[in-house]
Amino acid sequence: MSFFLQRLLQAILGRRPHRTKTARATETSAGPHPAAATLGSAPAPVSLPEPPKVAAAVSALMAVGARRPLIATDGAIAGFEFRIDHEMQKRLQQDDDHQVQAAYVLALLTSAHLMVKTGRIGFARVPAEWLVHVAQLADVEGAWVGIEQSAGMNLTLAQWQTLRETVQALRAAGAKVGWDEAAVFGVPPDFLLLHQGPALMDVVLGSMRTWPPELKKLPVFVTDIACVEDLEQALYSGISYACGALAPPEPATEPLELLRAPPEFYRVGQLLNELASGADTSVIVSDIKRDIGLSYRLLCRINSASFAQLNAQASIDQAVLLLGHNELYRWLSLLLIQFSGRRKVTSALQEITLWRARLFELLAIETHETSPGQLFTLGLASMLGPLLKMSLVEVVSTLNLPTPARQALLEQTGPWSVYLQLALQVETKSLDGNSALVGQFGGAERVAALADEAWAWAWAAEHANREGVILE
């Protein structure tokens, strides 16, 4: 990733003569937009700017590759959204550095294209007023590009022409391009954008009723959804894709509706408590045998390909011994996400839960924690509230979490609270490569790489769960 960014910055951030806004506008109107003519060509060599500027830009661009799940109408994660953090966008808008703005747009487009290569949708949200400064487009085949206009956007006539030509160039390169219903770029969109933000979901969805018939036939993306409940409302209303705040902004946030977890959840919780308290193996085996469903799941796990060479037809007693204390605790913890019932977003929430758990574990390994498996459980527990619609206090109590995990989840304090803080930065695309928090985990590039690894694992684990198999 850093190699790509270095090349991108060399092409975009090289030193150029300073131009006034009037000169730039005149230059833009002098001829057709370069993107239409030079798409796919190699960037012209330019001089690299001073090292501090390169370092700062590389650090900031790392966060662009961070993903946010894009949920399809069936409730599953269909792909990922790539956008610029709102605060970062404001700062860069004030700086009025068109070279850096163009670099961000190219990073977004490249990230979306690379996601397409994995078999999932890559959705890039790009500011319209930044897109006009991109002299050469990245490879965008298969990407979905949402062009967004800010409230105070004020483009010249020449820049509007440039924007129309860029839309045509993106489409010619194989991308789908969409925008808000009110935007007019001289061509019809491939899809439409809706933005929730602080608005009520009823108001957002109600605006679709005024659309002309030809627009109502297009796919619709709803961005920046405020909560899981609004997400479900959007999907039940026929929205094609949605993205936004699928994890609570802080662990102590409770679901709007609390439910009683199924009995199986508490039986697994009891076993986790026994393991945590050091109960005798015979007690654990006896409790598992009393639950037919749990016994069946455990035998399926131990008779899977991973353990086939050890024992072809293991008993419950053998299964417990073969797995060992730590692996049995991890396996039981993973079972908890299968008690989430049948909701529209169950599949997506399960995958996000698995992603958090695996990310916390990988980060713990990175920082040489003595028990990375406990951080796996912390990540899992942080999402069980919204997943199961349970009180977080009840989740913590049922799982008998250690003190650092209790402090992090219930009080946002203690040594493990940094894992929750970092996860929130990744999820909201506000990863700050210059912060001490990110630095203690190896820097923004390393955190982004671990997040990608965790997503790959979560996808495999969630699909294995659909078939009743717990991935190791």
Give me the pLDDT at residue 468, please: 45
Give me the pLDDT at residue 343, please: 77
The pLDDT tens digits of the residues spanning 246-270 come to 666 665 556 656 667 677 888 888 8
Give 379's pLDDT tier (boundaries 50, 70, 90): very high
Give me the pLDDT at residue 251, please: 59
Taking a C-beta distance cutoff of 8 angstroms, is the pair 146, 170 a contact? no
The residue-averaged pLDDT of 84-102 equals 81
pTM for the full predicted model: 0.77
Of the listed ranges 13-22, 69-78, 147-156, 424-433, the least confidently predicted one is: 13-22
53 vs 258: CA distance, rounded Å: 49
In the predicted structure, residue 86 carries a pLDDT above the cut 50? yes
Taking a C-beta distance cutoff of 8 angstroms, is the pair 294, 268 a contact? yes
In the predicted structure, residue 194 carries a pLDDT above the cut 60? yes
In the predicted structure, residue 193 carries a pLDDT above the cut 70? yes
**12-42 burial by CB neighbour count: b if 16+ within 10 A, else e?**
bbeeeeeeeeeebbeebeeeebbbeeebeee
Share of the chain above pLDDT 90, in %: 27
The residue-averaged pLDDT of 171-181 equals 93
In the predicted structure, residue 34 carries a pLDDT above the cut 50? no
**Helix-, strand-, coil-residue percentages of the chain, each rounded to 5:** 55, 10, 35
Residue 369 CB contacts under 8 Å (≥ 6 apart), including other chains: 375
- What are the CA-CA distances from residue 416 to residues 344, 363, 409 (Å)? 32, 11, 9
DSSP string, 110-167: HHHHHHHTTTSEEEEEEEHHHHTT-SS----TT-EEEEE--TT----HHHHHHHHHHH
In the predicted structure, residue 298 carries a pLDDT above the cut 70? yes
Give 429's pLDDT tier (boundaries 50, 70, 90): confident
Give me the pLDDT at residue 434, please: 73
Give me the pLDDT at residue 38, please: 34
Give 79's pLDDT tier (boundaries 50, 70, 90): very high
Residue the block writes with tokens 């590759």: 65
Give me the pLDDT at residue 430, please: 74
Give me the pLDDT at residue 15, please: 39
- What are the CA-CA distances from residue 397 to residues 259, 278, 378, 391 (Å)? 16, 17, 13, 10
Residue 153 CB neighbours (<10 A): 12
Give 62's pLDDT tier (boundaries 50, 70, 90): low
Give 1's pLDDT tier (boundaries 50, 70, 90): very low
377 vs 62: CA distance, rounded Å: 27
